Amino acid sequence: MASVRFTVTPTKAEDLPGLSDTSPDISSRSGARVRFGSRESVNRSDPLSEVSGGGTAGGGGDTPEHSSVDQGDGNSKISSVYINNTHGVDDDDFYDRNLALFEEEMDTRPKVSSLLNRLANYTNLTQGAKEHEEAESIGEKKKASKSPQMGTFMGVYLPCLQNIFGVILFLRLTWVVGNAGVLQGLCIVFICCCCTMLTAISMSAIATNGVVPAGGAYFMISRSLGPEFGGAVGLCFYLGTTFAGAMYILGAIEILLMYIAPKAAIFESKHPEGEGAAMLNNMRVYGSICLLLMSLLVFVGVKYVNKLASIFLACVIVSIVSIYVGALVSAFKPPQFPVCMLGNRTISGHEIDDNKCAKFIQLQLKEPERVETNFTITNENGTVGPTFDPSPVPALVNETTSIWKLFCEGPELNASCDKYFNSNKFSEIAGIPGLASGVISENLWSAYLSKGDVVEKGSLESSLDAHPASTHQPYVFADITTSFTLLVGIFFPSVTGIMAGSNRSGDLKDAQRSIPIGTILAILTTSIVYLTSVVLFGACIEGVVLRDKFGDSVKGNLVVGTLAWPSPWVIVIGSFFSTCGAGLQSLTGAPRLLQAIAKDNIIPFLRVFGHGKANGEPTWALLLTALIAELGILIASLDLVAPILTMFFLMCYLFVNLACGLQTLLRTPNWRPRFSYYHWTLSFLGMTICLALMFISSWYYAIVAMVIAGMIYKYIEYHGAEKEWGDGIRGLSLSAARYALLRLEEGPPHTKNWRPQVLVLLKLDEDAHVKSPRLLTFASQLKAGKGLTIVGTVVSGNFLQSYGEALAAEQTLKHLMDKERVKGFCQCIVAQKPREGISHMIQSSGLGGMKPNTVVMGWPHAWRQSEDPQSWKTFINTVRVTTAAHLALLVPKNISLFPSNSEPCTEGYIDVWWIVHDGGMLMLLPFLLRQHKVWRKCGMRIFTVAQMEDNSIQMKKDLATFLYHLRIEAEVEVVEMHDSDISAYTYERTLMMEQRSQMLRQMRLSKSDREREGNPGSSSSRQEAGGATRSQVRPSW
């Protein structure tokens, strides 16, 4: 037994029963706590230190028995892993330092210098990257680890802001507004922002219910819903983060090739039909190069990514500010971006080489032509030679423009031209009319386009004889078919990134306060920016320019850049660097998430990805992340990659909401979030929105994502390592089991619901080996009824002395059950006499309505030759106890000859000798056996006994009819026997004419009565079949 001692130690909250998280009451008390405990309970590992810095198995398992006291400057300081001091602590103890209940001395600085210092050291990396960065400095002395000092603004708000703002805002939001219109655009943004806000509320509740190490969403879901859900959703979140990296890289390459250096394209097409394919090939080549460079940068060192974080954040902020300033400036001085229109069709600005939006221009010659007039003067002497009379004549010449050549067969004025070109006039409209122009009235409504449609302005006049435009003509065409659902899937990635704060809880001074406030403020900020941006874009930019995805109508300028002040290059350069930074962060965070999953050891084939460099950097995980990201880059289209990561993020958010709602409804004692502004209705509303958005944006992607998650779930369930994290699914199972048991108690089961609930009695030898393991095999073959199985044994002796032996016997039974694949429970009873133990087991087995109704035991071996009468006496006593309990009794004789689960019978019969009407019990058992693969090919024969004076032919017909209504296929045989062939016992017990007459009458009942009486398991049937007769009747093989 464990000795009890009295200790005074600094104690972690997890060591106190029912207090797994810190609370204000505890943190305000003194540092030392009086504790009673056993010797084993003192040195136990911290359950929350299993995951640290990307999921590594943390140290901190040894609790110091004595705190060392350092004397210095007259002040005593307690040096312990539980105190946030400034002494050097191993990386594995990093999270233990965050679990302190109190802090002694805090380093205080002036507010201004503190803010400047934090801005200088700002990082947007996931938790654990800082330690890896320090470990990369070879030859440098390791700096003393300081207590986490990051507050809400630097630790949560800014990282969330930077992760949420992304490539979609700069490259696609204007296009979304142009197609969906301002009203539907606001609807899209509002739905997506509501989804993330509700998810953030649920996430805040989970994050403040304890400490969240690296892994973020994976850690929260796995510890709340169990390893199966955690692994499935964790991998989905990992894939979403990886594809997000691919999307950011594709966005950066699109900015580079479309707006910064168009001439850098490697592949070019001479025909308009091939421009799209050439662009995709360019994206693949440059995207792969960019991915390789970024992966090398992350591999070489996180510290370089860390140093660039503040630059990337500044780019995002400056770009967004320039949009707002440009929108305000446009109200007074709109920027000059003319758009050329032919009728109501938009002309691509790339094709206008001479900047002339007209069919032809009139040119006046600088020097007028001189007209030479020849005349002669005739006189009588002869003729005078010709003279010249110069006279100036003004000349205007019509010269065709560069656009003329694109619509006509030649540059001549009389050349054959396109009909639409001939019947419509050119006009120029302002691409950016400005905030005060009232253009928002035209942009309120949607204008969805099909692939190949020309971008048109509905308010301009156009000839009625318009015909479909050719791709060879210089119009602006829609590259994909747009719809509300498609735009939702493309826009949703721009609201993801809300987990950035929860991923960094170990770096925060007060994580339980900072995570909810910082995350929710960041979502409010970004939501306001998105909603106002939708209105500003609709109020400032012309509709045809908004629907022009790549800015062809404004000569290839980035559409959102045309609104920026003072120059479009502010947005172009800023968005390029911000997307590069977001891609680096994804390539930094995704491998750590995979490493956290791998080190939890719940998915066996991922174990290799838990290893890395000496400093803990996830090298193998980074390699896999780069390969998966390359698949996204090979897709090469931002509009096709965005819905993929939308699915994975939505599935992750769905399970975060489910975890919060489930914990709230179950009211588990450990569910005490510091964040109190949550409710289960909000969680389930968020879950419903996530599920709806999945199918709204792309139903087939949603199904694929669910299938992937389901496959991972089943893989972990059947092959993964066993983990017990006190998850909500187990709590849900307990609640459901309690509810079901209480419902079963309401009344006896109906005959249609009857199934064999088996209690298998096994005997162990002196070496704790099962004597008749085939009994368990027989029970497993009967399990087609899906009933309860309890495997029991009796250990002789006294419970106090034989407790260890009972545990060993229980383990033996569990091992045998696993080997035979029997799903059930095992029960081991210690009693002075085996007969008493069996009696106790038959009386006490089961719970509520889940009690055994059938006992399976072996026939006593060689009982006639045995000198010890206890064997057959125990058997007879068991028969009597079973009869008294009104339970069915199955006694397989010669059980060692029964086939095992690996020996299927290819032929043969199952013979049933049916003597009395027992409610169909003997009919049901062979039927259940035939559901198993071992007995599937065996036939079934029913034998019944008739006396000489009975009509055996009629009995056979009646029995066949009875089996037909029981829906059991079997051959019927009637055996006629003389009275002398039947023993007196059998005659008295089984062939009494009253019982046989009753059986025959029941066979002739109406169909409904026959079906009711024919179903096995009614109480009367079980009682009738419960005597000594049942103990002797058995199937013969």
Phi, psi for residue 167 in degrees, rounded to 5: -70, -30
The single-letter DSSP state of residue 236 is H
Cα(820)–Cα(898) distance, integer angstroms: 14
* pLDDT score for 834: 87
Phi, psi for residue 319 in degrees, rounded to 5: -65, -45
Cα(168)–Cα(55) distance, integer angstroms: 31
pLDDT of residue 794 exceeding 60: yes
Cα(210)–Cα(217) distance, integer angstroms: 13
Strand locations in 365-512, DSSP E? 369-370, 375-378, 383-387, 392-393, 396-400, 426-430
What percent of the chain stands above pLDDT 90? 18
Residue 414 contacts residue 442 (beta carbons within 8 Å) = no
Residue type (1 letter), 1001? R
User: Could you tell me the pLDDT band of residue 32, with boundaries at 50, 70 and 90?
Assistant: very low
> Is residue 789 classed as helix, strand or coil in its secondary structure?
strand
pLDDT of residue 519 exceeding 80: yes
Longest dimension (CA), the chain: 176
Structure-token pair, residue 479: 């590259």
pLDDT of residue 633 exceeding 50: yes
The single-letter DSSP state of residue 256 is I
- pLDDT digits 0-9 by tens, 805-816: 889 998 988 888
User: Could you tell me the pLDDT band of residue 1009, with boundaries at 50, 70 and 90?
Assistant: low
Q: In what order do the strands lie in the sheet with 345-346?
A: 345-346, 338-342, 426-430
Residue 965 contacts residue 1011 (beta carbons within 8 Å) = yes
* Cα 1030 off chain centre by: 54
Residue 322 contacts residue 570 (beta carbons within 8 Å) = yes
Phi, psi for residue 396 in degrees, rounded to 5: -115, 125
* Cα 512 off chain centre by: 25
Mean pLDDT along residues 24-40 = 41
pLDDT of residue 373 exceeding 50: no
Least confident span in 112-116, 483-487, 502-506, 742-746: 112-116
- pLDDT digits 0-9 by tens, 456-478: 888 887 776 566 777 778 888 89
Single out the residue of 85, 159, 164, 99 nearest to residue 129, CA to CA.
159
Cα(214)–Cα(593) distance, integer angstroms: 7
Number of other residues whose CB lies within 10 A of the CB of residue 199? 32
Phi, psi for residue 662 in degrees, rounded to 5: -65, -45
Mean pLDDT along residues 781-804 = 83
Cα(804)–Cα(820) distance, integer angstroms: 25
Cα(541)–Cα(393) distance, integer angstroms: 47
Q: Strand 4-9 vs strand 33-38: parallel, antiparallel, or unpaired?
A: antiparallel
Cα(1024)–Cα(1032) distance, integer angstroms: 14
Cα(629)–Cα(247) distance, integer angstroms: 9
* pLDDT score for 773: 84
Q: Which residues pair with 339 in a beta bridge?
A: 429
* pLDDT score for 495: 93
- CA dihedral sign of residues 443, 446, 451, 453: negative
Cα(598)–Cα(605) distance, integer angstroms: 9
pLDDT of residue 864 exceeding 80: no
Q: In which residue are the tokens 């219910």 written?
A: 209
Top-confidence range, 104-108, 586-590, 688-692, 784-788: 688-692
Secondary structure of 265-302 as H, E, C letters = CCCCCCCHHHHHHHHHHHHHHHHHHHHHHHHHHHHHCH
Cα(363)–Cα(379) distance, integer angstroms: 45
Q: Which residues pair with 846 in a beta bridge?
A: none
The single-letter DSSP state of residue 939 is E
More confident residue, 287 or 350: 287
Cis peptide before 566 (omega within 30 of 0): yes
pLDDT of residue 253 exceeding 90: yes
Instruction: Write out the DSSP string of 23-85.
Output: -HHHHTS-S-EEEEEEHHHHS---GGGGSBTTTB-----SPPSS-EEEEETTEEEEE-TTS--
Single out the residue of 31, 172, 17 nearest to residue 100, CA to CA.
31
- pLDDT digits 0-9 by tens, 872-913: 788 889 999 998 988 888 888 888 888 888 888 888 888 888
Residue 852 contacts residue 760 (beta carbons within 8 Å) = no
The single-letter DSSP state of residue 553 is G
pLDDT of residue 418 exceeding 60: yes
Single out the residue of 159, 192, 166, 235 nearest to residue 502, CA to CA.
159
Cα(395)–Cα(366) distance, integer angstroms: 9
Single out the residue of 778, 810, 777 nearest to residue 794, CA to CA.
810
Average pLDDT, rounded, for the chain: 76
User: Could you tell me the pLDDT band of residue 20, with boundaries at 50, 70 and 90?
Assistant: very low
Q: For residue 942, give the H/E element and its range.
A: strand 939-947
* pLDDT score for 1004: 56
Mean pLDDT along residues 1012-1020 = 44
Q: What's the length of the chain?
A: 1037
> Is residue 638 classed as helix, strand or coil in its secondary structure?
helix
Single out the residue of 950, 955, 879, 884 nearest to residue 917, CA to CA.
955
CA-to-CA dists, residue 159 to 205, 510, 519, 523, angstroms:
20, 16, 9, 12
Residue 723 contacts residue 227 (beta carbons within 8 Å) = yes
More confident residue, 630 or 966: 630
- Which are the contacts of 265, defined by CB distance < 8 A and separation ≥ 6? 257, 278, 279, 282
Burial bucket for residue 991 (CB in 10 Å: 0-12, 13-18, 19+): middle
Q: For residue 750, give the H/E element and its range.
A: none
Cα(38)–Cα(3) distance, integer angstroms: 6
Secondary structure of 126-166 as H, E, C letters = CCCHHHHHHHHCCCCCCCCCCCCCECHHHHHHHHHHHHHCC
* pLDDT score for 324: 93
Cα(1015)–Cα(1012) distance, integer angstroms: 6
Q: Which residues pair with 75 in a beta bridge?
A: 72
